[in-house]
Structure 1
Amino acid sequence: MSLLTIILNIFLPPLAVFLKHGLGTTFLISLLLTLIGWIPGVIHAFVVNQ
């Protein structure tokens, strides 16, 4: 995992997931979790972008 990916996972989780996986269910889940709460979005981004 690159430094840029780690920074995006922390500050913009849906963007990090989008850059790795594109538009799809993973991106939508990340967007929903980030809207519900920032921490769940960050955790999901780190798990998905391992």
Structure 2
Amino acid sequence: MNKVVHIILAILLPPIAVFLKSGAGKDLLINIVLCFFFWVPAILHAIWLITKD
């Protein structure tokens, strides 16, 4: 159930979802940069991080 909530959050606010999953680090920085250019790659990056485990 927690993974479903993270995926919904990744669709709405990708950097928040990445922060909750990975903390403040390179993954968060990558996601923030992706958000500045396009929203869809940031969503895909966040979903990939959440589901890769």
TM-score, scaled to structure 1: 0.90
- Unaligned runs of at least 5 residues, structure 2: none
Which is greater in Rg?
Answer: 2
Q: Counterpart of 1:7?
A: 8
Q: Tell me whether 1:36 sits opposite 2:37 in the alignment.
A: yes
Classify the secondary structure of the residue corresponding to 2:24. coil
Q: CA deviation at 1:24?
A: 0.3
Q: CA deviation at 1:3?
A: 2.1
Aligned length: 50
State the 4+ residue runs in structure 1 displaced beyond 3 angstroms. none
TM-score, normalised by the number of residues in structure 2? 0.86
- Identity fraction in percent: 42
